[in-house]
């Protein structure tokens, strides 16, 4: 089975980039399922009713998020929707809106989609993601799933890399998000788990991790806070991952990073 997975969608240009590239990538890779991170979809912060309507037109299998999932108050109900296949980091308290994993049917097979957030360098401190993964993998519905996928939304390469080794052989694949910068280490780990430290973002190419360059540069130069805004015009970038998996073994058989630069016509 083939999965096409997209990193963080940032603002208007991120949504435009996905809508523009999906038809050609569908034709090129013929995925059985598409997964997209939408935690920055509404002007860089959270999810909104209007942006989820736009995202549902992409006809994807599941949506993932991260630490910004709750930034837009109008999006809280979306996280709790039974009809929208969306997950938030599982290592938050149980009373936090949303589900940390979902088991979804894909043809003849069940697929567990798990979302976790790292701890290193985050202002908030969710539970230990390594231990939470161990507990999730004990859940009967997750154990039953032929394919087990994890998005690890974390800041540091070392924490993500550690999660890869911790999960090798127990997950079909795991990929990192959050830094918006893609890494060049897509690989299949020794026990069959597909892995990449970060698949990058989908948004403004002429930016600083999806934000207009002026505000971040002002902060770097002055140490004074400035309001971050994602650009609404200009070229766009695509950060994605393509994996092929064997549902009978639960292992990844091939993995490839995808990076495209698109002109905004």
| Residues that are catalytic | 68
Question: How many other CB atoms are there within 10 angstroms of residue 122's CB atom?
Answer: 16
Q: Is residue 43 within 8 Å of residue 230, measured between CB atoms? A: yes
Phi, psi of 164 (to 5 degrees): -60, -50
Phi, psi of 221 (to 5 degrees): -85, -30
- Per DSSP, helices labelled H in 212-256 are 214-222
The dihedral of CA 64, 66, 71, 77: what is its sign?
positive
Strands (E) in the chain, as ranges, are 2-9, 33-37, 62-64, 101-106, 109-117, 147-153, 173-177, 187-188, 194-196, 201-204, 236-246, 251-262
Q: For residues 24 and 165, what is the distance between their CA atoms, to the nearest angstrom?
A: 34
Question: How many other CB atoms are there within 10 angstroms of residue 30's CB atom?
Answer: 9
Q: Is residue 194 within 8 Å of residue 253, measured between CB atoms? A: no
């Amino acid at each position: 089975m083939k999965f096409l997975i997209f990193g963080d969608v940032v603002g208007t240009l991120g949504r435009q980039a996905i809508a523009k590239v999906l038809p050609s990538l569908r034709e090129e890779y013929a995925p059985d399922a598409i997964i997209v991170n939408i935690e920055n979809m509404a002007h860089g912060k959270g999810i909104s009713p209007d942006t989820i309507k736009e995202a549902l037109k992409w006809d994807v299998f599941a949506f993932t998020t991260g630490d910004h999932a709750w930034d837009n108050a109008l999006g809280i109900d979306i996280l709790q929707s039974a009809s929208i296949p969306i997950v938030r980091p599982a290592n938050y308290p149980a009373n936090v809106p949303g589900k940390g994993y979902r088991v979804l049917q894909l043809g003849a097979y069940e697929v567990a989609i798990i979302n976790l957030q790292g701890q290193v360098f985050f202002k908030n401190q969710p539970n230990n993601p390594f231990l939470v993964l161990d507990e999730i993998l004990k859940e009967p519905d997750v154990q039953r799933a032929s394919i087990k996928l994890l998005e690890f939304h974390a800041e540091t390469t070392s924490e993500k890399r550690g999660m890869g080794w911790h999960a090798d052989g127990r997950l079909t694949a795991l990929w990192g998000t959050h830094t918006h910068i893609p890494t060049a280490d897509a690989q299949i780990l020794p026990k069959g788990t597909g892995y990449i430290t970060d698949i990058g973002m989908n948004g403004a190419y002429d930016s600083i991790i999806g934000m207009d360059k002026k505000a971040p540069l002002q902060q770097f130069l002055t140490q004074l806070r400035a309001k971050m805004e994602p650009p609404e015009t200009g070229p766009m970038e695509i950060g994605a991952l393509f994996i092929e998996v064997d549902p009978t073994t639960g292992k990844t058989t091939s993995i490839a990073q995808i990076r495209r630069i698109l002109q905004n016509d």
